[in-house]
Amino acid sequence: METLETLWTWSPFLLQGFGWNVLIAFTAGLIGLMLGVPLAFLMRAQMRVVAGVSRKASGVIHHLPTFALIFYMAVILPAEVSLPGIDTPVRVAAWFKVALALSAMQIGYVSENFATALQAWRDGDPSKAMLFIPGWINGFLITAIASSNASVVGVNELVSRCNTVIAATGQTDLMIPVYLYASLFFLAFCYPLSWAVGVLKRRLSARVSLVRQ
């Protein structure tokens, strides 16, 4: 009972941390769309050289080790950058560095799957092209879970705050309950989206089957 009371007391603190996980995932997904879609068009370019180089680039980006990229981004990118026309340096937050690292997987995934969707659209099969949407959401959910790695570079997200709770309470036996409780945050966020994706994918697949008949 005491454990439940402790978890409830710290819930607002943990929920705020989970907000950083969601922000990282959305930012990575947005970057993935912004860079992955143009890359997909290049992959379907009529010039074979452009298409071939773009496909290889997409494959390389897609398979970059995400965990290692987080460390590289944290070390390589400066804490502040100076932009033309702006006197005050712009701070590059740690969470944004993590989002950039996680966006690599998104860029590769988006480019490959949007290229397939683009070809389906050109072939007159819009239902098949729309399958890109549930696929992208699945990729976003994977990124949301991977955002928990942000704690290794000092981002004060959910996992990092779990460690804070354990240290603040001084209860080492609270470790398992706290981490299990944290997993419920991801489950509550991801499961409804995953269920909706399944429904959408089944409906789109059914429409594809009808068109082919």
Over range 108-137, report the average pLDDT: 86
Side-chain-side CA neighbours of 150 within 13 Å: the count stands at 33
Task: Give the domains, in start order, of the chain with CATH numbers.
Answer: 2-212 (1.10.3720.10)
Over range 17-46, report the average pLDDT: 93
How far apart, in whole angstroms, are the C-alpha atoms of residue 210 and residue 213? 5
For the question of whether the overall pTM of this predicted structure is more than 0.75, the answer is yes
Nearest Cα to Cα of residue 128 among 59, 55, 203? 203
The percent of residues in the chain predicted with pLDDT above 70, rounded, is 96
Note the pLDDT of residue 184: 94
Is residue 177 over pLDDT 70? yes
Is residue 76 over pLDDT 90? no
117 — phi, psi (to 5°)?
-65, -40
Over range 139-146, report the average pLDDT: 91
Q: Is 10 left (phi over 0), alpha (psi -120 to 50) or beta?
A: alpha
Note the pLDDT of residue 210: 64
Over range 140-155, report the average pLDDT: 91
Which pLDDT band holds residue 78 (cuts at 50, 70, 90)?
confident
Over range 138-142, report the average pLDDT: 89
Note the pLDDT of residue 169: 87
